[in-house]
């Protein structure tokens, strides 16, 4: 399973990336929205899209909402490629944030098909369950 972790906090990012490695995922850690966009573009260009996006909304510069919008735009452009996935697109994005989400953020996230929202500090058991369920849905072992 390919996971894109978008997290600017070094402590949280280190913990999450170590945990993703322990789960056996193929992950890439982006620390800015711009890095995340580059990783998404490369993934689509090489026909190796990410199965899961763990996305912090509050990023310096380009925020998580913009990253999510770009991801959904690329998915629409690459519709035949997305047909290779057996889970709906909305099952592939989990927002990870240390902030209370305001009503506007919640509405945007729902409209963009966010599967879940987790508050920091992150509960690793919840992430493990989500990764295992998604891996099972797409026919991979985690």
User: Which CATH number does the domain housing residue 68 bear?
Assistant: 3.40.50.2300
Backbone angles phi, psi at 138, to 5 degrees: -100, 5
DSSP state of 102: P
In a domain, 132, yes or no: no
Count of domains observed in the chain:
1
Q: Where are the extended beta strands (E) located within the chain?
A: 2-6, 26-30, 52-55, 93-97, 116-119
Q: In this model, does residue 64 exceed pLDDT 50? A: yes
Question: What pLDDT score was predicted for residue 89?
Answer: 56
Q: In this model, does residue 10 exceed pLDDT 70? A: yes
CA atoms of 119 and 101, how far apart (whole Å): 10
What proportion of the chain, given as a percentage, has pLDDT over 90?
Answer: 30
Question: What pLDDT score was predicted for residue 87?
Answer: 45
pLDDT band with cut points at 50, 70 and 90 for residue 27? very high
In a domain, 6, yes or no: no
Question: What pLDDT score was predicted for residue 111?
Answer: 64
In a domain, 2, yes or no: no
CA atoms of 29 and 34, how far apart (whole Å): 12
| Residue-range definition of the domain harbouring residue 98 | 22-122
Instruction: List pLDDT tens digits, range 103-116.
Output: 456 556 666 667 77
Q: In this model, does residue 9 exceed pLDDT 60? A: yes
> Taking residues 127-132, what's their average pLDDT?
87
Question: What pLDDT score was predicted for residue 134?
Answer: 84
In a domain, 5, yes or no: no
Q: In this model, does residue 81 exceed pLDDT 70? A: no
In a domain, 86, yes or no: yes
In a domain, 92, yes or no: yes
CA atoms of 65 and 69, how far apart (whole Å): 6
In a domain, 127, yes or no: no
In a domain, 138, yes or no: no
* Tokens 């890095």 found at: 35
């Amino acid at each position: 399973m390919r996971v894109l972790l978008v997290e600017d906090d070094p402590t949280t990012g280190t913990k999450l990336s170590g945990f993703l490695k322990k789960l056996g995922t193929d992950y890439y850690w982006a620390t800015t929205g711009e890095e995340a966009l580059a990783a998404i573009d490369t993934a689509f260009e090489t026909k190796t899209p990410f199965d899961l996006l763990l996305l912090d909304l509050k990023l310096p510069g380009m925020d998580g909402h913009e990253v999510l919008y770009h991801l959904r735009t690329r998915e629409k452009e690459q519709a035949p490629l997305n047909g290779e996935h057996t889970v709906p697109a909305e099952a592939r994005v989990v927002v990870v944030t240390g902030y209370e989400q305001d009503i506007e953020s919640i509405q945007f996230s729902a409209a963009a098909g966010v599967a879940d929202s987790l508050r920091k500090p992150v509960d690793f058991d919840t992430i493990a369950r989500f990764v295992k369920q998604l891996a099972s849905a797409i026919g991979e072992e985690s």
